[in-house]
Amino acid sequence: MHILIQKVMDLNESNTWNFIFMLLLAILVIIMIVKFKNRRTTILANKIPGPDGLFLVGILPVVIQGPEKFLTNCSKLYRMYEKSLFKVWLFDRLLIVLTQPEDIEFVFTNPKLQKKSKEYSILRESIMGQGIFTNDDIQKWKNNRKMVSGGLSFSMIKSFIPIFYEEANVLSEILNKKCDLKSKECDISIPVSMATMEMIGKTALDVTFNAQNNSRHRFIDNLQTTLQTWEYRITHPWYLSKTLFKWSKVSQKHDQSQQIINEFTDEIINEKFSKLNQNTEGNHKRNLETDDEVIGRKMKTVIEILLENYHGMSHKQIREELITIMIGGQETTAMTNACTIFMLAHHQDVQDKVFEEIQTIFSTGDRDRPPTYEDMQQMTYLERVIKETLRLFPPLPIIARKLEEEMKIGKHLCPAGSSLLISPLYLQSSPEYYADPDKFDPDHFLPDACHDRHPYAFIPFSAGFRNCIGIKYAMVQMKTVISTLVRENKFSPSDRCPTPEHLRLMFLTTLKFVDGCHVKIERRGRDLQ
């Protein structure tokens, strides 16, 4: 670009105007070609409700105002048109936003609509590569998903509970150490994030990161940079072009973070692969002779399953699957655990009910014992609390699919080449499906309320064929963490964030805090337990 500007400056005035005229003419010709090529798309789009946006740029001014403003701007737009699906333009990209659960179910369960939209190319070009979240080779996606699911089986998840409990206790100690001595205030977002990082490491990867004893971790630090890059490319859509992105100011930072994350994951793979190769027949025999409880823990972890397929998968493919698992297991539960504690702090009546339920479950025998899976099944009110938190704070606020062929969705014929957008964040806070949707009310998930509501009006983990494979893992982990923290501590609003409305959120592909998540923490007296 600077070379082009220099050439223009070198021209005399007459030639300069001629050059500008020819440049504008060339741009106009390109626009006309694009318009002609997309004429069918334009004709069908004109029949779909929604704003036309500004000439050529569409709704670019709405999405370019930063990751925090992005959420509020999109919310206003969604509420204007949520009575049906609607369209928005972003340059020449047609985005069709689905707002009706029936239409969302149609898309999520349609075998022809399983590929991710063009916007996901930024994840494929980054650390996630062709992991199961982004892979559009459907057969390869099915095979890899089946392998990863093997490490998150019911038996494995049950065996993870002692690990979740141990790390939750460490987290409780750290939170009490970090809170201010006078105000008792603490930003819980980073400690919770570190705890979930340790949990996913020990359970899925059989690796100890020692994350909780460090205020920072290179994976999490560099993941934050990567998430910021993804948001930047989505909200500056000309950077969806890999070539143009290379010239951007954030490309170099992203590449550095990607290299660090890749090297970190390679270390895990190499270390684990080396250990697996050192296993002897005697070790295998001893494993077979252990009791049932130990056998459950000796079942193969996700990383072991992937490494067993080392000859069928490249090192790069294994790395991309592991990074996908770490992001999925760390980002989703970290956000939900922190938000659940925050909402309990601001709703003392709900926190009291959670505490009473826990006290009832642990009323006999050793009151300080670790929880069991059977205990988890009895935490019905806590489960409703977690689901209500996921309703208001879905970790993945926007999901998108590629429409490869012209298709009728609802009452509208949607053109091929469009991106279909589904927003759990706005869908789940809609008055169309929830009474008093802004109120934090676990009764939204009473059996009768769920029965009367379309099941696709609550999709925090996506749904259909490509739903999150870690739903059960996440729920058991979150129940263990929240119940353990509430058994030991009482949470209340901080002066820095006195109401839920003061909690600032932003879109970084996932939902993230702008400036942390602050609450007050006090140890519960033993006489109260």
Q: pLDDT for 504-529, tens place per residue?
A: 999 999 999 999 999 999 999 754 44
| CA nearest to 83, candidates 403, 313, 411, 382 | 411
| CA–CA gap between residue 196 and residue 168 (Å, rounded) | 9
Q: Are 466 and 112 in contact (CB under 8 A)?
A: no
Q: pLDDT for 96-146, tens place per residue?
A: 999 999 999 999 999 999 999 999 999 999 999 999 999 999 999 999 999
| CA nearest to 397, candidates 74, 30, 113, 10 | 74
Q: Are 414 and 48 in contact (CB under 8 A)?
A: yes
Q: pLDDT for 192-221, tens place per residue?
A: 999 999 999 999 998 899 999 887 889 999
Residue 400: per-residue pLDDT: 96
Q: pLDDT for 137-188, tens place per residue?
A: 999 999 999 999 988 999 999 999 999 999 999 999 999 999 998 999 999 9
Burial class (CB in 10 A: 0-12, 13-18, 19+), 280: exposed
Q: pLDDT for 344-365, tens place per residue?
A: 999 999 999 999 999 999 987 7
DSSP string, 223-259: HHHHHHHHHHHHHSGGGGSHHHHTTSSSHHHHHHHHH
Residue 288: per-residue pLDDT: 44
Q: Are 363 and 421 in contact (CB under 8 A)?
A: no
Structure tokens at 277: 């190769």
On the question of pLDDT at 28 being above 80, the answer is no
Q: Are 148 and 305 in contact (CB under 8 A)?
A: yes
Task: Please give the angle made by the CA atoms of 43, 48 and 50, to the nearest 5 degrees.
Answer: 115
Stretch 229-254: mean pLDDT: 92
3-class secondary-structure state, position 276: helix
* Residues whose CB is less than 8 angstroms from the CB of residue 315 and which lie 6 or more positions away in sequence, other chains included: 266, 269
| CA nearest to 497, candidates 358, 346, 277, 378 | 346
Residue recorded with tokens 């090529």: 37
| CA–CA gap between residue 426 and residue 400 (Å, rounded) | 14
Q: Are 404 and 416 in contact (CB under 8 A)?
A: yes
Sheet arrangement for strand 489-493: 185-187, 518-523, 489-493
Residue 168: per-residue pLDDT: 97
Structure tokens at 497: 């964030």
Residue 38: per-residue pLDDT: 75
Q: pLDDT for 45-100, tens place per residue?
A: 999 999 988 777 889 998 999 999 999 999 999 999 999 999 999 988 999 999 99
CA distances, 72 to each of 57, 115, 203, 284 (Å): 20, 28, 37, 56
Q: Is the dihedral of CA 46, 47, 53, 59 positive or negative?
A: negative
Half-sphere exposure in the Cβ direction for 192 (13 Å, CA): 28
3-class secondary-structure state, position 95: strand
Q: Which pTM was predicted?
A: 0.89
| CA nearest to 107, candidates 462, 470, 394 | 462
Read off φ and ψ for residue 284, nearest 5 degrees.
-60, -40
Which three-class secondary structure string do you get for 31-49? HHHHHHHCHHHHHHHCCCC
On the question of pLDDT at 246 being above 60, the answer is yes
On the question of pLDDT at 281 being above 80, the answer is no
Residue 257: per-residue pLDDT: 96
Residue-range domains of the chain with CATH? 38-528 (1.10.630.10)
* β-bridge partners, 489: 523
Report whether 468 belongs to an annotated binding site. Answer: yes
* β-bridge partners, 90: 58, 93
